[in-house]
Amino acid sequence: LLEADRRYVWHPFTQMKDYAERDPVLIERAEGVFLYDADGKAYYDTNSSWWVNVHGHAHPRIREAVNRQMAKMDHVMFAGLTHAPGIELAERLTALTPDGLTKVFYSDNGSTAVEVALKMSFQYWQQTGCPDKTTFAYVEHSYHGDTIGAVSVGGVDQYHSVFRPLLFGAHKVPSPDPRGRQDGDAEAAAAQALEAVRHLFEASAGEIAALIVEPMIQAAGGMILHPASYVRGLRELCTQYGVHLIADEVAVGFGRTGRMFACEHAGISPDFLCLSKGLTAGMLPLSVTMTTAGIYDAFYDDYAKLKTFTHGHSFTGNPLACAVALESLRIFEEEGVLEQAAAAASHLQQAAARLAADPGVAHLRGLGMVAAFDLYRDRDSGERYPWEERIGFRVYEEGLQQGLFLRPLGDTIYFWLPLCTTAAQIDDILGRTEKVLQRMSR
């Protein structure tokens, strides 16, 4: 199989050089927090398989929900037809998410949930007498997906530079990254970043449709934590200057940060909320873009076709995926997932502190079931690993030896554990990580 994989498969985010250096791990089975390879070796899935498996793998209730729904109806289109799983999920989501988000638009991955929010915001202003609002604002180091629209509002150069000629221009505002400050003061970094947004809006709000942000944690851009005051400040500025706020909770939604939704830390409601990944607990592809009745109503028109939101995917509102998402939400409720995860998260944050004993571990940080640090050659002198040494790739390789599936972001090592991870498993993961760090030569 690996021979055929090498010959026929083009994996995402893989350099051709990686194929020459090592094959991907051939996984045969996954259960709970573990992945098992073809030889039966177990690996901790430390990133919940790209941040989606909130309840771990092979949850029996999720499997049953698929089978139940499968017996009735697998896929039907969602224009001109509707169905109970799609209706019930929309109703449930509007009850669970921050106030005011009463309309649910389905698509099937995080990037398109973002794309939909951008297009809806853009069209909203076009049909409400603000035709100059044709651009967007985004935060440095942000990642919102891989479609051209999502890439246009992304702030990680590596993902964008090659496509630059295709992208629409958007305004970049600084990230409140406390790592860039001598005093490491996150609140001061947030205040400074908000000033930059105010400055931008003073000059250009008339041409900005929306500002998009990953609330509380900028994930793919390096696990950068933001204080709640920053998210609150963005909400206030967007309201004051008439700019939509798009909260991209594709990664941080569904309990990841210790709250069901990250916006809850700041007590705010965005104008658009994008959800995916944990929505189906990793079982099936599904995403939603949620918005307000006020925005939805602006798409109403007596002559129908003038204000149609012309967008819809083949797999929109897939009944299997909606049934699974509903079951996942029931699991949250009936199995006390958030309470269990809160205890696990507090254990993770306390236990991770011991990693700081390693002289290469810098900027240890965490929130909820996320912990991260940057790996330096020497923290005290501030010496980092040069890019060519590909320290992240070496950590990944050594992690596999130690039974950990780790996917560093450059030299940022992180844990994004399933919410069901136990305290004993967390200790085991950290113990194995210490061994990985010891093996990195400095």
Q: Please list the alpha-helical segments (H only) found in 73-109.
A: 84-96
User: Where is the binding site, in residues?
Assistant: 50, 110-111, 143, 248, 277, 312-314, 407
Shortest distance, CB of residue 47 to ligand PMP, whole angstroms?
A: 10
User: Where is the binding site for pyridoxal 5'-phosphate, in residues?
Assistant: 110-111, 248, 313-314
Could you tell me if 374 and 440 are in contact, meaning their C-beta atoms sit under 8 angstroms apart? no
Distance of CA 150 to the CA centre of its chain: 13
Distance of CA 401 to the CA centre of its chain: 27
Give backbone dihedrals phi and psi of 333, rounded to 5 degrees, phi first.
-75, -50
Whose Cβ is closer to ligand PMP: residue 117's or residue 344's? 117
Whose Cβ is closer to ligand PMP: residue 253's or residue 399's? 253
Please give the helix or strand (H or E) that residue 435 lies within, else none.
helix 423-439
Whose Cβ is closer to ligand PMP: residue 205's or residue 250's? 250
Report the distance separating Cα 333 and Cα 327, nearest Å: 10
Give backbone dihedrals phi and psi of 369, rounded to 5 degrees, phi first.
-95, 35
- Residue 179, Cβ neighbours under 10 Å: how many? 15
User: Where is the binding site for substrate, in residues?
Assistant: 50, 143, 277, 312, 407
Give helix 423-439 / helix 337-352 axis angle, nearest 10°. 30
**Residue ranges that bind ligand PMP, judged by CB under 6 A:** 109-111, 114, 143-145, 214, 219-220, 248, 250-251, 276
Which DSSP symbol is given to 48?
A: H
Shortest distance, CB of residue 143 to ligand PMP, whole angstroms?
A: 5
Could you tell me if 418 and 45 are in contact, meaning their C-beta atoms sit under 8 angstroms apart? yes
Could you tell me if 280 and 248 are in contact, meaning their C-beta atoms sit under 8 angstroms apart? no
Quote the tokens at residue 422: 């136990």
Report the distance separating Cα 31 and Cα 260, nearest Å: 23
Closest residue (Cβ) to ligand PMP?
110
Which DSSP symbol is given to 389?
A: G
Report the distance separating Cα 36 and Cα 286, nearest Å: 25
Whose Cβ is closer to ligand PMP: residue 252's or residue 429's? 252
Quote the tokens at residue 367: 């929130």
CA distances from 353 to 177, 227, 371, 372 (A): 20, 20, 10, 10
Shortest distance, CB of residue 419 to ligand PMP, whole angstroms?
A: 17
Shortest distance, CB of residue 441 to ligand PMP, whole angstroms?
A: 31
Whose Cβ is closer to ligand PMP: residue 197's or residue 251's? 251
Whose Cβ is closer to ligand PMP: residue 144's or residue 432's? 144
> Which single residue is written with the structure tokens 């909260």?
247
β-strand 42-45 against 101-107: which pairing, if any?
unpaired
Shortest distance, CB of residue 277 to ligand PMP, whole angstroms?
A: 6
Whose Cβ is closer to ligand PMP: residue 154's or residue 360's? 154
Shortest distance, CB of residue 264 to ligand PMP, whole angstroms?
A: 17
Collect all residues with Cβ–Cβ distance below 8 Å to 339 and sequence separation of at least 6: none
Shortest distance, CB of residue 111 to ligand PMP, whole angstroms?
A: 3
Which DSSP symbol is given to 32?
A: B
Strand partners, 247: 213, 273
Shortest distance, CB of residue 119 to ligand PMP, whole angstroms?
A: 15
Whose Cβ is closer to ligand PMP: residue 148's or residue 293's? 148
Shortest distance, CB of residue 243 to ligand PMP, whole angstroms?
A: 20
β-strand 208-213 against 244-248: which pairing, if any?
parallel
Whose Cβ is closer to ligand PMP: residue 248's or residue 398's? 248
Whose Cβ is closer to ligand PMP: residue 115's or residue 358's? 115
For 57, the 3-state DSSP assignment is: strand
Shortest distance, CB of residue 286 to ligand PMP, whole angstroms?
A: 10
What is the Rg, in whole angstroms, of the alpha carbon atoms belonging to the chain? 22
